[in-house]
Amino acid sequence: MKAFTAAYLAYLLGFASAKVVKYEWELSYRTISPNGVSKRMALVNNQFPGPTMRASLGDQVQVTLTNNLPDNGTSIHFHGINQLGTPWADGVPAINQCPIPANGGNFTYTFTPDEAGTSFWHSHYGPQYPLGVVGPTIIDDPSEPYKYDDEYVVVVTDHFNISDWTLLAIDRTPGFVGNTGIPPRPPAPDSVLICAGTGGCNTKSQPSFQFTPGKTYRLRIINMSAFVGFHFSIDEHPLQLIGSDFAALDGKTSVEQLPIWPAQRYDVLVQAKTNFTDNVWMRSVTQNACYPIQNPKLELETRALVNYEGVSASKVPSSQPFADPKANDCRDLDLSQIKPREVEDAVETPDTTIFLAVGLYNNATARQIQGVVNNSSYPAYDVNAKPTLFDIKDGVDVAALPTSRNAYALHNGTIRVVLNTTLGPGAHPYHLHGHTFQVLGYLNGTYHGNDGLDLVNPTRRDTMMVPVNATAVFQFKTNNPGVQFFHCHMEFHLNEGLASQFVELPDEIRKLKIPADARNLCPK
């Protein structure tokens, strides 16, 4: 899809100045209290959020992760990084890597980013990521189109007091709640947090972002939630949209309220006022109407301080929020508001169209909530299964994979996916690995070819909020041999089975040379 964009050309030309960027990360348990309640978390280098992985387009990144957990494997997925030519570094157990073993196992993720912007990395091993195995990713574009004076990483996330891995698995234990005939639900968040980047939530504190009058700030806003989405805003300061996920935007739209769903990122420019002698609130407001599971004790709004130079940080703002006409509608921004900077129209006639009906329901026989894709629930807890990538490389046909793997073969050409959520209640932040795709539309009715779709320079991103009772249509070109996980990014929905995988260009996968250290993670 991005094969001909300026960013990709810059990436190719950039090899002259490309660097090797190395990180040494260590995962271990540590007890911290991000919301004032003590919790044993799994942290990389003892930080929550974890270290920032930062590189430039064309750099080779080498992240060595040592797993010092005594009792669980792990894996890291660099969300949004396409892993072109390195599909074994995508970090999904049972899809494209075997877990890094407990008690000192290690693996070096080696890859070359091909898109710039803001993202994050996280464990893809069972429901491990809400335990803290998560941190920011920044990929710099040497020909960055936007000018700004300074930048901040702003992480918004939900937080759960439950600390034990098996308790997070509570909704996978078959049974009913009392005599209700309803299977157990996953826990609701206990808090929502704003964290000022790496280590920003190691202790409970109100984050503070410094503004100097007249300067322009780039905020890299990342939703690292396992479950909930937010409306983000800064009182009296509009947000100029310059990036959504790894797509640079045209910068023509400013918003007062920014809906941001799990795993989505927005880059915005904020103009600090001149002659301003006050502080204002930054707000992240939980969109609780989107979720059937709620905690009445959860404080829906969390705030951070925007502290103007020359004003005491202890001065409590009296600023008021913008009115919110879009409150709780559980939708992305209108697609017309997030147009990419580099124009690319959508192919009108895709080579392949895949129809997926997805949703959650109470399975009375299994006594579990199950997420299904075309009536098949994906076994996300099966972390030790042989990765599909290795099966395909070893000659297995896609058609011969177990049905529950929800595998679809993608061959050469333009792929259109029509994703329907009328099967069960709920809006789902759906993420595709390996591609920044074009979002052609969220339809209220049935899919009829190009009717109602936006084919003129449509939004590009890697995580879209598919509304309730809707049909999302998105499109991409196959160019990335590998096995691309496609799943709801609400961690519990993924673990309930709302996932499938695209085996992209299987004939090309068979020509890949998979490094021995990737193979060696698998049991002999």
Interface ranges with Cu ion (CB under 5 A): 428, 488, 490, 493
133 or 488, CB closer to Cu ion? 488
Compare residues 198 and 288 and give the one whose CB is closer to Cu ion.
Answer: 288
Q: What is the CA radius of gyration of the chain?
A: 22
Nearer to Cu ion, 226 or 392 (CB): 226
Distances (CA, A) of 213 to 290, 304, 455, 479: 37, 18, 41, 46
C-beta closer to Cu ion: residue 165 or 430: 430
**CB neighbour class for 60 (10 Å; exposed up to 12, middle 13-18, buried from 19):** middle
**Could you write out the DSSP letters of every residue in 167-234?**
HHTGGGS---STTS--PPPPPPPSEEEEE-STTTTSB----EEEE-TT-EEEEEEEE--SS--EEEEE
Residue 109 or 492: the one with the smaller Cβ distance to Cu ion is 492
Nearer Cβ to Cu ion (192/304): 192
Nearer Cβ to Cu ion (473/488): 488
Residues 6+ positions from 222 with CB-CB distance below 8 Å? 118, 119, 120, 136, 153, 154, 155, 156, 265
Give the sign of the dihedral formed by CA 125, CA 126, CA 128, CA 129. positive
Closest Cα partner for 2 from 478, 417, 502, 481?
478
Of 155 and 494, nearer to Cu ion (C-beta) is 494
290 or 415: whose CB is closer to Cu ion?
290
- Between 415 and 419, name the residue whose CB sits nearer to Cu ion: 419
Residues pairing with 267 in the sheet: 220, 243
CB of 488 to Cu ion, least distance (A): 3
Least gap, CB of 381 to Cu ion (angstroms): 16
Asked if residue 494 lies in contact with residue 488, where contact means CB atoms within 8 angstroms, the answer is yes
**Closest CB 376 distance from Cu ion, rounded Å:** 16
Q: Which is nearer to Cu ion, 393 or 493 (CB)?
A: 493
**Minimal distance, residue 468 CB to Cu ion, in Å:** 11
In terms of Cα–Cα distance, which of 191, 201, 291, 223 is closest to 79? 223
Shortest reach from residue 496's CB to Cu ion, in Å = 8
Q: Which two tokens stand for residue 317?
A: 């703002």
The angle formed by the CA atoms of residues 50, 56 and 59, to the nearest 5 degrees, is 100
DSSP E strands in 68-127: the ranges are: 76-78, 105-111, 117-123
Query: What minimum distance in Å lies between the beta carbon of 463 and Cu ion?
Result: 11
Minimum CB separation from Cu ion for residue 126, in Å?
16
* Sequence-distant (≥ 6) Cβ neighbours of residue 479 within 8 angstroms: 1, 3, 84
- Whole-angstrom distance, CA of residue 75 vs CA of residue 60: 19
Cβ of residue 515: shortest distance to Cu ion, in angstroms? 33
- Closest separation in Å from C-beta 360 to Cu ion: 7
Q: How far is the CB of 118 from Cu ion (least distance, A)?
A: 23
Token couple for 251:
């910068």
CB of 201 to Cu ion, least distance (A): 24
β 437-443/460-461 pair status: antiparallel
Q: How far is the CB of 223 from Cu ion (least distance, A)?
A: 14
CA angle 119, 123, 125 (to 5 degrees): 145
Tokens 């969109």, located at residue: 287
Nearer to Cu ion, 186 or 506 (CB): 186
Peptide linkage before 350 cis (omega within 30 of 0):
no
Contacts of 216 (CB under 8 A, 6+ apart): 147, 148, 149, 269, 270, 271, 272
Dist CA 458 CA 332 (whole Å): 14
C-beta of 426: minimal distance to Cu ion in Å?
6
Residue 190 backbone class (left: φ over 0; alpha: ψ -120 to 50; beta: rest)? alpha
159/428 with CB nearer Cu ion = 428
* CA 439 to centroid of chain Cα atoms: 16
Q: Which amino acid is at 41?
A: M
CB of 492 within 8 A of CB of 372? no
